[in-house]
Amino acid sequence: MNTPHIINIPKISDPRGNLSFIEEENHIPFKIKRIYWIYDVPGGEKRGGHAFRETEEFIVALSGSFDVVLHDGRQEYRFHLNRSYYGVYVPKMMWRMLENFSTNSLALILASTVFKESDYIREFDEFMKLFG
């Protein structure tokens, strides 16, 4: 599916503490080439503000909460993430912003590519022009 959507990941409930896991091409529709995380975000800050030409991502709030705001050139999507057993799949060519971080939130991001600055579109005008 090429629209952004929530994907539930397995949750093994256990009185000793819960466990979740993600398998590439099983729970998420791509091979994982890179993992990064965003943490220690000061109150009121936003991350993102760009699109990727090729990179697909899966974003999970491992701790705390934040909003993932996406735009596909036509409409906006907003996802509030606050549990570590689901995340949002972000297809390529989505304008994406992460905001409203709670204190001590931890955003885990699985990406389908290694880091390449040339994959970024950092101007919203340039992004919108690509849709004619």
Rg (CA), the chain: 15
Using CB under 6 A as the binding rule, whether residue 73 contacts ligand TYD is answered as no
Q: Which of 36, 37, 39, 124 binds ligand TYD (CB under 6 A)?
A: 36
92 binds ligand TYD (CB under 6 A): no
Q: Is 99 in the site for ligand TYD (CB under 6 A)?
A: no
Give residues with Cβ within 8 angstroms of 63, minimum separation 6: 84, 104, 105, 106
Dist. CA 5–CA 13, nearest whole Å: 24
Minimum Å gap between C-beta 92 and ligand TYD is: 14
Binding flag, residue 115, ligand TYD (CB under 6 A): yes
